[in-house]
Structure 1
Amino acid sequence: MGEPPVALPPLVPPVHRGPRPGPLGGGRRQVGQDVRVDRRTLLCGALLLTTAACGTSSNTRKPGPGSAKPGDRLAAIADIPVGAGVLVDVATDGQLLLVRPTADVIKAFNPTCPHAGSVVNPPTKATPITCPTHHSEFDSTTGAVRSGPSPAPLKEVPITLTSQDIHLA
C-alpha cells in the first residue's frame, strides 16, 4: 500500500486554519496576519480587565460626613501629624480630610475637589492639599484655592476638639 503517515513531534502545536469560536471570537493566527477586533469585543475585554485589576469593591464611602451625626468621634488628635493631613473614614459611609497645619489648629474638609469631583490628596510636610486629576492646590488652613482650575475652595466641615479627640460638630 504505501508508507505510514509521519506524525508531528508532540511539542509542535497543531496549525488551525481560520478563526476558532471562543469568548473573544478569535482563534490562533499566523505571525503577521491582521488581527481585527470589533468594538463589542474590545469593550468587553476592557471591562473584564478593569474588573480584574480593580476587583469588586464594596466600598460605598462618599466624600463628606456621610451618615455621621454631630458629636460622632472622627479621630484622635494624636493621629493627625503636625504639618500634614489624613483621610478618615466617617461613620459607615463617609470620608473627611482632617488637616493640622500647626500644632494648635485642626480643620476638616470635604475631600471632593470642586472642579472635577476627585478625592484630593492629603497634605504632607512637603506638599499642599492637591487634586490628583488636574493638580489644583488648596491651602491647608482655609481650603482656599492656591492654584489650578478649581473654581471654588474645599468645603469646610465643622468640628469640635476635646482634650484628645476630634468630633463632628
Structure 2
Amino acid sequence: MAMEYFDEKIVPILKRKLPGSDVSGRLMGSPPVPGPSAALTTMQLFSKQNPSRQEVTKLQQQVKTNGAGVTVLRREVSELRTKVQEQQKQLQDQDQKLLEQTQIIGEQSARLAELEHKLREVMESAVGDAAASGAGGEGPRKGEKGEGDQARQRWR
C-alpha cells in the first residue's frame, strides 16, 4: 500500500521537480537498486547517453550549416580587410597631397607678402615723388585736376 501511494502521488511530483529522474524517482546516473526496475533504468540511462540517429543527423546538419556560415564570414572579413587597406592607402595619398598643397600655399603666401611689400614701396615712392613735385609748386592747385587725374576720369 505504501509503495502504491509512493508511485501514484510522490513519483509524479518528483518527475515534475527533477527533470532528470527516471521512472522510480531516482536521479539519472545514480546507481540502480537491484530489483525489477533496474533493467529498465539501465536501458533508459543508455538511451539518454547515446543519441539517436536522428539527433546525430540533425547535429551533422547543424555542423555543416555552421561551417558554411563560418566560411561566408571568413570571406566577408577578408573583403573588409582589403577595403580597409585600400582606404588606408587613399588616406596616405590624400595626406601626401594635403602636405604638398600646404607647401604650395605657404610659398604663394610668401610670394604674395613679398609682392605686397614691393607694392607698398612703389606706392610710398610715388607718393614721395608727388609730394616732392607738389612742394615745388608745379602740381595742380586746389580744385584743379592734373593730367593724370583727367586721364583717369576719361577711363571711368
TM range (shorter): under 0.3
Give the structure-1-normalised TM-score.
0.20
The structure with the largest helix share of the pair is 2
Give the structure-2-normalised TM-score.
0.21
The structure with the largest strand share of the pair is 1
- Highest Rg: 1 or 2? 2
Q: Which has the higher contact order (CA 8 A, sep 6+)?
A: 1
